[in-house]
Amino acid sequence: MQLWIAHELGRELMGALPDGVGVQVLAAADAPFPGDPSDVQFWVPPLLGGAETVALAQRMSGLRVVQLLSAGADAWVGQLSDGVTLCDARGVHDVDVAEWVVAAILSSLRRLDYLALAQHEHRFAHTDVGLTDELAGKRVMIVGAGSIGQATAARLAPFGVHLTYVAHTAHDGMHSVDDLPGLLPQADIVVLLLPLTAHTTGMVDAPFLAAMPDGALLVNAARGPVVDTDALVAELSTGRIRAALDVTDPEPLPTDHPLWNLPDVLFTPHIGGATKGVLPRAYRLVADQVRRFTAGEPLLNKVEGGY
């Protein structure tokens, strides 16, 4: 079986694979092919690949499995031929994204972004921000209560927050997205961790934002198009709410976009999952999936219904 992976280091990280598995590395869509793509049965595409990467799957006539390194599969859904199984990397990014969420919340509440700018300007801004906010006792709503949402909740709980969970449908103590209009006015912090699907695109619109109370913080670690950017800019421009964003729509954010200059916005360039621990976790999953596939066992993390 031919296995193509996205990182040379993946060979070492996967460890011993079943006999007969040949491994080649294709690090980018525009890199020279390491072999005949029609021979590839199991493919691990580059994490940051765009439409050109997805299109390569059509040249892999023998392809049977696409194992993503990302938790989100929105770029791939509906793009693969019949008979090709799409699997996401659910569980791989729990630690890194959850840590980003906690860091972003604390940085925003304690105004560390503003104070970092003051440091750059050599200003001792002791009185500039006044009394900053704190996380203790905050009402935190996690929208998208999958594995990353649960990991985030576990890291927020020791701060003494009050957690509310929202999923696509109500189950096991989780609210449905249909309950959001009644829940949002009670949330000091709204954390977006839901997948991008036809149902979630633009879900955070003007009425959603208007329902958040004054001073609330919106944290987006999901996908940019989950939020209506025009509505977000309009609401943030009033100064009524704040935002911490790791993703935007469009992305990359154009240099003249108003989000850059709005007050009370903490922005990072989609680096929530970019940590040193990601590749070891990812390629442990890849190795497990390869063993399952060669043994005829069910694969993990199969993408069905868009996520």
Catalytic residue among 8, 12, 134, 251: 251
| Runs of H (alpha helix) within the chain | 9-14, 51-56, 94-109, 112-120, 147-156, 180-183, 206-211, 229-237, 278-294
121 is catalytic: no
Residue 270 known to be catalytic = yes
Rg of the chain on CA atoms, in Å: 21
Per the residue annotation, which of 270, 284, 291, 292 is the catalytic one? 270
289 and 90 Cβ atoms separated by less than 8 Å = no
Q: Is 190:216 a contact under the CB 8 Å cutoff?
A: yes
Is residue 304 part of the annotated active site? The answer reads: no
The whole-angstrom separation of Cα 278 and Cα 191 is 22
Place of tokens 């079943």: 18
Query: Which candidate in 223, 235, 242, 281 is catalytic?
Result: 223
DSSP letters for 132-151: ---STT-EEEEES-SHHHHH
Q: Look at the chain and count its residues.
A: 307
**Catalytic residue ranges:** 223, 251, 270
